[in-house]
Every structure is written in structure tokens, then in C-alpha cells.
């Protein structure tokens, strides 16, 4: 059995968590699935932080990490830290590197690394970490190097952590287990969704985000690698759902729990 906590990434429910009432109802429904850990992402900006705190306490829900707006990370950090501490959340995450950095290629990544360093240092002073969620553009090569490798090599290993995503790794044709090893000890949360092949007209194929257990990702090797490299939480995140998002999450959560229970933790060759 793999000792990892299954969780839900609320980005999947982003359309339902824009109001206080919608957020509270969504947390209730996720808790009824048997899930006690979530990641915050795309919560309605008008929902008071104190209300969020009250709801997660009411449902005894843990918050493992967030995806916070980049502008708040850079310009509202003290309040962001205060909110995370009230939620018991140990890490401020960034869900997507914005175009002001991406459009400048190598120089943009170097500038981001410089800009985020004082944020990481301030989080460390408060016993927290920064977590960077990757897609596939981090694996574009500039000057012979993948930018993901630059992020690993040029950031503080104690304070700059990573969130890898099973779908985006497969979408980019990348060796996910290899990259788990590269960030060993620096990734406590991993995102899980399936890679579903959709047949389009004229024989074209689209790789789409899918519900775990309904696609082509072989999870037992990934879960073993996650356990070996220090992952504590695997959070289900389905960007686009072909049916009701709550039903997708419930099916995926059930399947992930089964996989965690039935997969034996093993060595490199397991």
C-alpha cells in the first residue's frame, strides 16, 4: 500500500466556487466523497478569507497547497501568508507562469527566478514554501537546456518546491518518473488526471484531460515513484470534464484510493 493522501484540486470545480454559498456547498460535497484534503485554486475573489476558514473548519478539511494569483504573490504577500496560516496551508503555489515571463523565453525564466527569490525567502521565514505548477512550456529548450531544469538548478531547494502533473508530463512526451527523481524532496503535492484519447473527424486524435481509470496513464509506477521521492499528497485535477465535474471527481477519487491501496511500494525495479 502506498502511504500517500488522495486529495481534490478545486480547480476542477472552479465554476461552482465563485460565491460563498457555492464554495461551502462544494466543500460539503467533496467531504461527502470521503475526501479530507483539498487544494485551493480559482476561488471567487469576493469570498472573505474568514468565511473560507470557517467552512474548512466546519468540515474538518485540510488545505495542502494553493494556486494563488501571481499579482498577490508579488504584491500582497503578507496578507497571503496570513490567510494560508489561518487555513493551516504550508505552501503558496503558482498555477501558471504568466506571459510577461513566458514571452521572453530564456531571459524571462531568468527574470522570474530573480523575482521569486525574495518571495521564497519570506515564505521560508514563516515556515512555508513556494510551489511551482508546471505544464509543458517549461520543457521548451533555450540554449540547449530545458527551462524546467533551469528552475530546478537555479532556485532554493529548501523553499522552492514543485507540483508536477501526470497529464502534462505525458502530453509533453516526458519521462515523468525521471523528473520526479530530479525534484526528490521538493515535491509534496502531485496532480493526477488521466490522458484520454478522443477520436475527431477525419481520423484526427485529441489528447484530453480525463477521469483517472478511463485513460492511458499507467498509475502504479508513477505512484511508486511518487512515494520514493517524497510526495505526500496526490491531488485529482481534471481541467475539462465531459460530464458532471462532481461525478468525475467522485469516480476518480474512488479509483485513486483503490490504486493507492493495491499498489505495493517498491524499489527502482518495482
Q: Please list the pLDDT of the chain residue by residue as tens digits (270 residues).
A: 899 999 999 999 999 999 999 999 999 999 999 999 999 999 999 999 999 999 999 999 999 999 999 999 999 999 999 999 999 999 999 999 999 999 999 999 999 999 999 999 999 999 999 999 999 999 999 989 999 999 999 999 999 999 999 988 988 888 899 999 999 999 999 999 998 766 557 666 566 788 999 888 999 999 999 999 999 999 999 998 989 999 999 999 999 999 999 998 875 443
Buried b / exposed e along 196-207 (16+ C-beta atoms within 10 A): beeeeeeeeeee
Domains in the chain: ranges and CATH = 5-262 (3.20.20.150)
**Per-residue cell: 32:** 461527502
Name residues whose C-beta falls within 8 Å of residue 202's C-beta, 6 or more positions apart in sequence.
Answer: none
Cα dihedral sign for 35, 41, 46, 51?
A: positive
Separation between Cα atoms, residue 45 and residue 47, nearest integer Å: 6
H helices of 157-232, in order, are 166-171, 176-182, 219-228
Tell me what pLDDT residue 198 has: 63
Q: Which residue has the cell 511551482?
A: 132
37-41 and 129-133 strand pairing: unpaired
Q: What pLDDT is recorded for position 269?
A: 42
User: How far is CA 189 from each of CA 114, 133, 183, rounded to the nearest angstrom?
Assistant: 24, 10, 12
- b/e sequence 44-64, b meaning 16+ C-beta within 10 Å: eeebeeeebeebbeeeebebb
Instruction: Please list, in sequence order, all residues whose beta carbon lies within 8 angstroms of the beta carbon of residue 63, skipping any fewer than 6 positions away.
Output: 37, 38, 39, 40, 56, 84, 87, 88, 89
The count of C-alpha atoms lying within 13 angstroms of the C-alpha of 245, restricted to the half-sphere facing its C-beta, is 19
Taking a C-beta distance cutoff of 8 angstroms, is the pair 86, 49 a contact?
A: yes
Cα–Cα separations (whole angstroms), residue 239 to 10, 14, 113, 165: 10, 10, 27, 11
Other beta carbons within 10 Å of 170: 20
pLDDT at residue number 211: 92
Rg of the chain in Å (alpha carbons): 18
The reported pLDDT for the residue numbered 215 is 87
CB 248 within 8 A of CB 32: no
Largest CA distance in the chain: 56
Using the structure block, give the residue that is written with the C-alpha cell 502531485.
190
Contact 103/132 with Cβ under 8 angstroms?
A: no
Q: Which pLDDT does position 170 carry in this prediction? A: 86
Amino acid at each position: 500500500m502506498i502511504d500517500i493522501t488522495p486529495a481534490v484540486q478545486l480547480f476542477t470545480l472552479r465554476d461552482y466556487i465563485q460565491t460563498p454559498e457555492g464554495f461551502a456547498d462544494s466543500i460539503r460535497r467533496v467531504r461527502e466523497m470521503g475526501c479530507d484534503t483539498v487544494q485551493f485554486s480559482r476561488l471567487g475573489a469576493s469570498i472573505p478569507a474568514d468565511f473560507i476558514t470557517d467552512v474548512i473548519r466546519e468540515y474538518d478539511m485540510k488545505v495542502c497547497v494553493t494556486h494563488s494569483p501571481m499579482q498577490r504573490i508579488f504584491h500582497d504577500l503578507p496578507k497571503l501568508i496570513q490567510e494560508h496560516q489561518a487555513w493551516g496551508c504550508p505552501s503558496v503555489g503558482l498555477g501558471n507562469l504568466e506571459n510577461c515571463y513566458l514571452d521572453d523565453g530564456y531571459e524571462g525564466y531568468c527574470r522570474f527566478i530573480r523575482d521569486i527569490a525574495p518571495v521564497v525567502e519570506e515564505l521560508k521565514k514563516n515556515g512555508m514554501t513556494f510551489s511551482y505548477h508546471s505544464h509543458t512550456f517549461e520543457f521548451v529548450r533555450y540554449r540547449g537546456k530545458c527551462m524546467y531544469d533551469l528552475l530546478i538548478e537555479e532556485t532554493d531547494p529548501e523553499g522552492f518546491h514543485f507540483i508536477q502533473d501526470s497529464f502534462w508530463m505525458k502530453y509533453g512526451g516526458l519521462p515523468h518518473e525521471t523528473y520526479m527523481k530530479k525534484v526528490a524532496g521538493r515535491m509534496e503535492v502531485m496532480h493526477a488526471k488521466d490522458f484520454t484519447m478522443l477520436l475527431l473527424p477525419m481520423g484526427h486524435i485529441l489528447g484530453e484531460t480525463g477521469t483517472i481509470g478511463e485513460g492511458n496513464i499507467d498509475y502504479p509506477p508513477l505512484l511508486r515513484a511518487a512515494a520514493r521521492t517524497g510526495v505526500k499528497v496526490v491531488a485529482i485535477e481534471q481541467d475539462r470534464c465531459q460530464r458532471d465535474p462532481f461525478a468525475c471527481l467522485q469516480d476518480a477519487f474512488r479509483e485513486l484510493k483503490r490504486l493507492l491501496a493495491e499498489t505495493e511500494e517498491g524499489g527502482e525495479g518495482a
